[in-house]
Structure 1
Amino acid sequence: MKIGIDARNLVTSTTGIGRYLLEMSRHLALLGHELHFYLPEAPHKGLKDLPTGTLHVGRFPGAIRRMIWGQTELPRRAAQDEIDIFWGPAHRLPIFLDHRIPRVITIHDLVWRDMAATMRWQTWIADRWLMKPGVTVADEIVAVSAATADVLKAAFPTCREKLNVIHPGLTAIAGTLVPKKLSSFGIDRPYILFVGTLEPRKNLPRLLQAYAALPEATRQRFLLVLAGGQGWRLGDLKEQVAALRIESSVRLTGYVSDTDLAQLYSYARFLAMPSLYEGFGFPIIEANAMGLPVLTSNTSSMPEVAGEAGILVNPSDVQSILDGLESLAMDGALHTRLAASARANSQRFNWSESALQLEHIFKRAIAKRRTACE
């Protein structure tokens, strides 16, 4: 197939959705498909990470121009290239795409609907106004988790007949550089690890409060390491740490390379990820792949992803997070049991299988559109 792909998520720094786009595209290319990537401007990391394909780069820098590009230049170029199928991998489809072109949309989450206060206003507006038209005009819809599919059915009941669940795969976290010594991050003893962008949806204030409420002996035994770049609207975490009087036990690494991230996973006691909401939650399976159990939330997709390799907590209840932290830190039998299931759980998520499922959805969308146009 000749597949047109809205690749705008590669313009900014690579997030979970950007990784999804790259990995799914790479495996579609391995299946022999011809890929056409459409971008409003040059990608953030250049071209070296892109799978084999044809690149169409516009001159529409900035968020507002990017939205204009998505409804004007993008559908024009896609029609000109005579693609067989158009894929919107992140909540968007061109409303005015040539009616003869089949189209599929992937939905990762509905944060705009259920956790609006945790979003940047620009992203909220874009998802609020563009997701519904995309879902409406799509021939087939892909949700990345059953939890996301359930919310989609509640928000858009008419989409039920064309809704499919395809889990993302596991990307091995590694790198070509020599990893930094753990001591360079101030790590001098065992630790509990958080991985992710430091933003409101990750629920870090409650995680810090729960950690601060652990017995001092437990905090002396296990550091809390927060690995991730600074997000937005979270305030100064260092001030929060200082106010809780846990400076000696908390380490903020900032953004880390894949090489360093792999090392941080390798030596952690467990992953702590009590997010308020996740469409999928890549760190869960990344940690599992390293043999780590996880503490995560009993909401949205997290129970589905963690499977038998995690302990579930109420992300809105500091005491629940505290109990989970203490159990995984100090209960050796529980930790051993969950760790034993970790790698098997991560192996449920495979990009090759995901790409095969998406290929099948593309073929179904093509057949639907062909029938509708006859």
Structure 2
Amino acid sequence: MTRSGLLLVDQLVRPVSGGIGVYITGVLQGLDQLGMDRNLALLTSRTSAHIGPSSWLGTHVQTPLDYRLQQRLWDFGWGVPRGNWSFYHAFSLGGPLLRMDMPQAVAVYDLLFRSEQETFPPRARAWHERRFAQVVASNARVVTLATETGKLLVEAGVAAERIAIIPPGVDHVPPADTVATAKLLDDLGIAGRYLMVLGTVEPRKNLPRILKAYQHYRATAFDPVPLVIVGPKGWGPEIVPPRGAFIVGSVSSGVVAGLLARALALVYVPLQEGFGLPVIEALAAAVPVVTAANIPAARFGGLGVEPKDVDAIAQAMEQITSDDPLRSQLVTQGLLAVEGLSWVVAAQQHLRLWEELTA
């Protein structure tokens, strides 16, 4: 195959790139490690941000408008880039409409805009519905991260033969920035270990219930530990942390790695998720996890809880902080479970998909 593809990676230039940004960057990392040719063009709206590993980045196709205005034009079928590419791959539902005269693939990570409607603003929910309807009506291949989501896509009208399941890697976490991490914890007044929450602060991450559970845990535990909440602010009401909990906002990836390394456990209990990257990031860092039992990443290990059961979350916090043998067992199981998750493997699966598109 002549790998002359146009890849939509616009999520990388958004203010909050989230898990999609991690996935895109990981696949680019894997392609870089494979040492493939440089005939892939990366499409984004206007930005001054750096994208992708510079060692392989061939062409950056950049629109003249920022992402808000550009997406509106794309929604009307305007501003579609022109070029001699053999396929188009969108790493999100955004970007140009799927009317381009070439083989296409699009990533659909979840259907939360249907299953958890209250966690989306009305306009965003309507936009996702319109874009997903276009995907269903097209002949595009559909990439998703987990078999659970693949089944939901089939139920929603996507033919099973159009779906490719490509799980993420976990070898993207950088070395810990120990100096910056120590300073942050010192500024917070945290000398020992703590529970950690990682993810965008928005309604579907279930933070109000997690904080209520933490209050219950703190009120009943013999020696409660602090709770450190890490992640960018998304949409939704302001969250006021209770005593013992600290919201630190966005930090560098090196500080995230440093905070994980010093955490007693990760608490990741979203209402629902297309995968749940923080779970495998924590397990790969030898950190045990309290996780929502209904998300795909829960199969890799951790204490599973029902995300709307505050008492269950509180009990899991108490159990994971007080039971040393349990934490050790969860760490061992988690390390074994995530061992094969590699971005090179994910990149190879994308290459095979693109070969099928252009065969």
Mean alpha-carbon deviation: is it higher for 133-142 or for 284-293?
Answer: 133-142
Q: Determine the structure 1 residue equivalent to 2:273.
A: 278
- State how far apart, in whole Å, the 1-side matches of 2:218 and 2:62 are: 55
Q: CA deviation at 1:323?
A: 1.9
**Which of 183, 188, 196 is the aligned partner of 2:186?**
183
Q: Determine the structure 2 residue equivalent to 1:31.
A: 36
1:224 aligns with 2:227: yes
Q: CA deviation at 1:254?
A: 2.1
- State how far apart, in whole Å, the 2-side matches of 1:74 and 1:103 are: 17
Q: Determine the structure 2 residue equivalent to 1:150.
A: 151
Q: CA deviation at 1:178?
A: 3.7
Q: Determine the structure 2 residue equivalent to 1:139.
A: 140
Q: Tell me, what secondary structure is at the counterpart of 1:108?
A: coil
Give deviations 1:211-239, integer Å, cap 9, x for gaps: 1112646374411111122222133323x
Give deviations 1:70-129, integer Å, cap 9, x for gaps: 654553x2xx32111110111246446343x11111111111111121123443232110
- State how far apart, in whole Å, the 2-side matches of 1:190 and 1:119 are: 34
**Which of 81, 86, 100 is the aligned partner of 2:88?**
86
- State how far apart, in whole Å, the 1-side matches of 2:37 and 2:322 are: 50
Tell me, yes or no, if the aligned pair for 1:4 and 1:86 is still in contact at 8 Å. yes
Higher helix share: 1
Q: Tell me, what secondary structure is at the counterpart of 2:14?
A: coil
Unaligned stretches of 5+ in structure 1?
242-246, 368-374
Q: Determine the structure 1 residue equivalent to 2:60.
A: 55
- State how far apart, in whole Å, the 2-side matches of 1:215 and 1:72 are: 53
Q: Determine the structure 1 residue equivalent to 2:118.
A: 117
Q: How does 1:337-352 map to 2 (within 5 A)?
A: 337-352=329-344
Q: How does 1:207-246 map to 2 (within 5 A)?
A: 207-214=210-217, 216=219, 218=221, 220-238=223-241, 241=242
- State how far apart, in whole Å, the 2-side matches of 1:18 and 1:215 are: 34
Q: How does 1:1-374 map to 2 (within 5 A)?
A: 1-13=3-15, 14-29=17-32, 30-42=35-47, 45-47=49-51, 52-69=57-74, 72-75=77-80, 77=81, 80-92=82-94, 94-95=96-97, 97-99=99-101, 101-156=102-157, 158-170=158-170, 171-174=172-175, 178-181=179-182, 182-214=185-217, 216=219, 218=221, 220-238=223-241, 241=242, 247=243, 249-304=244-299, 307=300, 309-367=301-359
What fraction of aligned residue pairs are identical, expressed as a percent? 24
- State how far apart, in whole Å, the 2-side matches of 1:316 and 1:358 are: 36
Tell me, yes or no, if the aligned pair for 1:210 and 1:322 is still in contact at 8 Å. yes
Q: 1:90 corresponds to which letter in structure 2?
A: S
- State how far apart, in whole Å, the 2-side matches of 1:83 and 1:335 are: 50
- State how far apart, in whole Å, the 2-side matches of 1:214 and 1:265 are: 21
- The count of residues paired between Structure 1 and Structure 2 equals 350
Unaligned stretches of 5+ in structure 2?
none
Give deviations 1:179-232, integer Å, cap 9, x for gaps: 231212321222111111111111111111111112646374411111122222
Q: Tell me, what secondary structure is at the counterpart of 1:208?
A: helix
Q: Tell me, what secondary structure is at the counterpart of 1:164?
A: strand
Q: CA deviation at 1:54?
A: 0.4
TM-score (norm 2): 0.90
Q: Tell me, what secondary structure is at the counterpart of 2:181?
A: coil
Q: 1:166 corresponds to which letter in structure 2?
A: I
Q: CA deviation at 1:348?
A: 2.8
Tell me, yes or no, if the aligned pair for 2:98 and 2:135 is still in contact at 8 Å. no
Q: Tell me, what secondary structure is at the counterpart of 1:235?
A: coil
Mean alpha-carbon deviation: is it higher for 334-343 or for 23-32?
Answer: 23-32
- State how far apart, in whole Å, the 1-side matches of 2:228 and 2:119 are: 22
Tell me, yes or no, if the aligned pair for 1:147 and 1:301 is still in contact at 8 Å. yes
Tell me, yes or no, if the aligned pair for 2:12 and 2:51 is still in contact at 8 Å. no
Q: 2:93 corresponds to which letter in structure 1?
A: H
Tell me, yes or no, if the aligned pair for 1:94 and 1:134 is still in contact at 8 Å. no
Q: CA deviation at 1:60?
A: 2.4
| Root-mean-square deviation (Å) | 2.3
Query: 1:94–1:221: structure 2 CA closer, same or farther, 3 Å change rule?
Result: closer
TM-score (norm 1): 0.86
Q: Tell me, what secondary structure is at the counterpart of 1:152?
A: helix
Q: Tell me, what secondary structure is at the counterpart of 1:10?
A: helix
Q: Tell me, what secondary structure is at the counterpart of 2:73?
A: helix
